[in-house]
Structure 1
Amino acid sequence: MENQNFYAIGLMSGTSLDGLDICYSKFIRNGSDWAFEILKCETISYSSDWENDLKNAIHLSSGKLLELNSKYGFYLGEKTQDFISKNQISELDLIASHGHTVFHQPKNKFTLQIGDGRAIKIKTNKTVVYDFRSQDVLLGGNGAPLVPIGDELLFSEFDACLNLGGFSNISLNRNGQRIAFDICPVNIILNKFAQKLGKKYDENGDFGRSGTIDENLLSQLNQLEFYKQKAPKSLGIEWVNAHISTLIKDQRTEDLLATFTEHSADQIAEIFEESEIKNVLVTGGGTYNSYLIEKIKANTKTEIHIPKKEIIEYKEALIFAFMGVLRSLNLNNVLSSATGSLMDHSSGIVC
């Protein structure tokens, strides 16, 4: 069979509000085997207005939220069209957009990622695939994590793939099945405290390194019920507000950063050890937190592999582009073994 080539743009906006990731990639299909090449990528930082709009979306009335859904969809479309024009992209089969998560309540059968895909299509005049999570939630799944399909088909040389974003999540192959789950909050907490010290994030983990671990708080964090639950399982901002915000009293900010970094490292290393992971690919913004990486390494024998910059920063956007390609071919792009849904399925609204 001759190789088939597909060109797609993936759009990703994470809970840590680092910005909009845009990744243009080529995917090569040879039978059941897939390969990829990242061709162009860029992160567009949010203005303070957009950051506030997205951060506070959870508190909006239904009418205002619908308005923001359209407005953000047009924003995504405009930024994507700018990216296409600037890079003179002529070969493009589709745009796949994750959107920005506002609500994630799989137990109540809903999840919401705003950024109307139809608005993206209006601005770009390209096929758009969006809303990848809702179908999985309706099928009884967690609607997350979704990237394991890409880990399985594009990064199979590693025992596991760990993403350090707003939350840390991992996918690994266990007994012939790809399982995946969220481990713990990372940048959604660390960035919040770093901002109190005048930085957008804890660069290199320097604030955390300068703090003192609050052993009592650390113990309370490590004993949270979520960590005892079996996979599949996922986290959202609602969980952070309900279970973590209540534990924060009047501790010094540097000490909170030290404690939460230690907590994240404890939880991540524990998963590595109990799953007997030999090597792991680590991506996401938290990879640049050298203090966090040092803490993880100190707690595990697992070999930590940190790839080149474009994979660290754009792996999720790359995989959403890949999921869009799979959806366009009507191939399964969500694994029930990862999300807990009734079956593997091909998810995403195509317009």
Structure 2
Amino acid sequence: MSKAIAKTGVVRAMGAMSGTSLDGVDVAVVETDGLSIHGFGPSRYHPYSEAERSTLRAALGLWHGPEVIAATGVVDAAHEAALAGFEEVDLVGFHGQTLAHAPRLQGTLQVGDGSRLAAALNLPVVWDFRSDDVRLGGEGAPLAPFFHFACAKYIKASGPICFLNLGGVGNLTYVDPRFDSPEAAGALLAFDTGPANAPINDLMQTRLGQPFDKDGRIASKGVVETGALELFLAEPYFTKMPPKSLDRNDFAEMIDLVGELSDADATATLTAMCAASVAQGMEHCPEPPSVVLVTGGGRHNPVLMQMLEVSLDCPVKQIEEVGLDGDMLEAQAFAYLAVRVARGLATSAPGTTGVGACVGGGVVSMPDR
């Protein structure tokens, strides 16, 4: 018999995240009451095989059809394997895999069946986090900012800081921890800065048969093509006021801009585009932050980190320097958000997704029906 979700007190939630970099599933446990972080538990990384990655890649940008069905099967099986074996867990936050995101048009699509996962794990599963936000006029992304606010409190930040996640797409959260709650006007501002690892990964895969530019080795040998960089920064997205969000493939033409360049120059230019889009985004911060804490796979790229350090007017640090886990932060975020959904708390606000009022998204599936 499965246990009900406690309505108060600290619980152990397990979050799972499969990002647009298509590398694998991150799983992490967080101890929280849905307001504060009380501790962090074990974590695990479950990589996709190349065959699974190819199946997911074939479904990117699609809303239905056999490719989407195949991708759903991959996501469900991978998450069942990744989430198995954790002990003393009360509920699960299951993000699923984003295949398409067009909030003002078709909506947003994250594949994966939370009810199937609830039955397999015999645990309550919170999933479909983004749809309610989109239905109510929000961008549906980014959703980690409420967790970032809790993290800023956890590390005892005294003034504004930024969290920069460099996954397939880059997103920035400006947090002012002087406010009491993330719902407060002015506490959070969040938006997608632009493409991050996705175009670099795609170029590596297409040209060299490699999943990513490990340690920035290819980019470090190249020269940035400034003409292509200027064309990229002329895109209207960068002058649009936040909140705003992107689909993984919104800037697919970046590959065309570097199509005539050598492997090294093309990779260096795509890396510079990521850094430049972050620098543009920083101009939207209400106050200069004391630090930018970088999370996600991009922080492992020393070329990208150096470009950020040169182009930003404040210190840039890997998030590990303040005692947080940059590989697991998004999985932890959906563990935290799952508790908020289960307890009827908001998961997004006007300053994070542009939704008209604070909203708590998500569907709760119980193993016993």
TM-score by length of 2: 0.86
Provide the identity percentage: 29
1:119 is aligned to: 116
Q: Does 1:306 align with 2:308?
A: no
Post-superposition, which runs of at least 4 consecutive aligned residues in structure 1 deviate over 4 A? Answer: none
CA contact (8 A) 1:80 1:124 kept: no
1:81 Cα deviation after fit: 4.5
Alpha-carbon spacing, 1:4–1:188, altered in 2? closer, same or farther (3 Å): same
Instruction: Name the Cα RMSD after superposition.
Output: 2.2
Residue 211 (structure 1) aligns with = 222
How big is each residue's C-alpha offset from its partner over 1:252-295, in whole Å with a ceiling of 9 and x where there is no partner?
A: 12111111111221221233356322212111010000111111
Mapped contact 2:348–2:355 kept (Cα < 8 A): no
Q: Which amino acid aligns with 2:340?
A: L
- Give the alignment of 1:124-135 within 5 angstroms: 124-135=121-132
Task: Check whether the contact 2:63–2:109 (CA below 8 A) recurs between aligned residues.
Answer: no
Contact 2:30 2:37 in 1 (8 A): no
Paired with 1:112 and 1:281, the residues of 2 have a C-alpha distance of 28
Correspondence for 1:296: 308
Partner of 1:258: 268
* 1:103-151 C-alpha deviation (Å, 9 max, x unpaired): 1110115110001111111211110000101111111111001001111
1:330 aligned residue: 344
Unaligned runs of 5+ in 2: 1-7, 177-184
Distance 2:296 2:361 in 1: 24
Assess, with a 3 A threshold, how the Cα gap between structure 1 residues 232 and 191 changes in structure 2: closer, same or farther: same
C-alpha distance 225-283 of structure 1, shift in aligned 2 (>3 A): same
Task: Give the letter for the 1:97 counterpart.
Answer: F
Q: Is the 8 A contact 1:273 1:300 kept in 2?
A: no
Deviations 1:45-103 (A, max 9, x none): 1012211111111376834256336524531452145342xxxx1x2111111100111
- 2:46–2:82 contact (8 Å) kept in structure 1: no
CA contact under 8 A between 2:61 and 2:99: conserved in structure 1?
no
**1:335, 1:42 → 2: CA distance?**
30
CA distance 1:93–1:82, change in 2 (3 Å): closer
Q: Which residue of 2 aligns with 1:224?
A: 235
Q: How many angstroms apart in 1 are the aligned matches of 2:174 and 2:254?
A: 27
Report SS of the residue matched to 2:56: helix
| Partner residue in 1 for 2:56 | 54
Structure 2 vs 1, CA of residues 246 and 73 (structure 1 numbering), >3 Å: closer, same or farther? Answer: closer
Aligned mate of 2:188, from 157, 164, 178: 178
Task: Give runs of aligned pairs for residues 1-351 of structure 1, distance below 5 A.
Answer: 4-28=9-33, 34-58=36-60, 62-65=64-67, 67-68=69-70, 71-72=73-74, 74-84=76-86, 89=87, 91-156=88-153, 157=157, 159-173=161-175, 176-195=186-205, 196-241=207-252, 243-272=253-282, 275=285, 276-308=288-320, 311-351=325-365
Between the aligned partners of 1:211 and 1:283, the Cα distance in structure 2 is: 25
1:221-255 deviation line (CA, Å, top 9, x unaligned): 111111111101111134123x4344343221211
Say whether the 8 Å CA contact 1:160–1:277 is kept in structure 2. yes
Task: Pick closer, same or farther for the CA change 1:337–1:109 going to 2, 3 Å.
Answer: farther
Q: 8 Å contact 1:9–1:25 — kept in the other structure?
A: yes
What SS is found at the alignment partner of 2:238?
helix
Q: Deviations over 1:18-64 (max 9, x none)?
A: 111111222256xxx51242211111110122111111113768342
Q: TM-score, normalised by structure 1?
A: 0.90
Matches of 1:98 and 1:155 in 2, distance apart?
22
Residues 202 and 246 of structure 1: CA distance in aligned 2, closer, same or farther (over 3 Å): closer
SS of alignment partner, residue 325 of structure 2: helix
Name the SS for the 1:162 alignment partner: strand
Question: Relative to 1, partners in 2 of residues 1:124 and 1:225: Cα closer, same or farther, differing over 3 Å?
Answer: same
Q: Which moved more, 1:316-325 or 1:291-300?
A: 291-300
Q: d(CA) in 1 for partners of 2:297 and 2:75?
A: 24
Task: Measure how far apart 1:296 and its partner are.
Answer: 0.8
Question: Is the partner of 1:99 in helix, strand or coil?
Answer: strand
For residues 246 and 76 of structure 2, the distance between their equivalents in structure 1, rounded to whole angstroms, comes to 28
